[in-house]
Amino acid sequence: MSDENSTAPQPLTGVRVLDLTTVLSGPLCTMMLGDAGADVIKVEPPTGDPARRMGPPFWGGESCEFLALNRNKRSIVLDLKSEEQRQRFYDLCRDADVIVENYRTGVTDRLGISYEDIASINPRIVYCSISGFGRTGPRGTEPAYDAIMQAFVGMMASTGHPGDEPVRVNTSIADIGAAMSANQAILLALLARHNTGRGQRVEASMFETQLSWLLYRAVGYFATGSAPAKKMGSGAPHVVPYEAYPTADGFLVAGALNDRLYYKMVEAMELPELATDARFVTNEDRVHNRIELTELLRARFSEHPTKTWVEWLTEAGIPHSPVNSVEDVLNDPQTVAREMIADIDHPVAGRIRVPGIPIKLSDTPGSIRLAPPALGEHQAEILGTAADLTAGARGDD
Q: Other CB atoms closer than 10 Å to residue 26's CB: what's the count?
A: 28
In terms of Cα–Cα distance, which of 32, 210, 23, 237 is closest to 134?
A: 210
* Alpha-carbon gap, residue 17 to 42, rounded angstroms: 8
* Active-site residue, from 39, 175, 259, 363: 175
Residues whose CB falls within 8 Å of the CB of residue 258, separated by 6 or more in sequence, listed in order: 283
Q: Which residues of 53-90 are buried (b: 16+ CB within 10 A; e: fewer)?
A: eeeeeebeebbbbbbbbbbbbbbbbbbbbeeebbebbb
Encoded amino acid at 24, one letter: L
List CB contacts of 81: < 8 A, sequence separation 6 or more. 111, 392, 394, 397
- Closest-CA residue to 252 (of 317, 170, 316, 307): 307
Beta strands in 247-338 (DSSP E): 251-255, 320-322
What SS3 class is residue 146? helix
Residue 6 neighbours by CB under 8 Å, 6+ apart: 367, 368, 369
| Mutual angle of helices 173-196 and 25-35, in 10-degree steps | 50
| Cα distance between residue 111 and residue 87, in whole Å | 11
Alpha carbon 240 to its chain's center: 28
- Report how far residue 158's alpha carbon sits from residue 229's, in angstroms, rounded to the nearest whole number: 5
Distances in Å between the Cα of 370 and the Cα atoms of 16, 47, 81 are 15, 22, 29
DSSP-assigned beta bridge partners for residue 59: 62
Side by side, the strands of the sheet bearing 200-205 are 73-77, 39-44, 16-19, 98-101, 126-131, 200-205
Residue 97 appears among annotated catalytic residues: no
Which residue from 76, 79, 132, 98 is spatially nearest to 30, judged by alpha carbons? 98
Which residues form the catalytic set?
Answer: 175
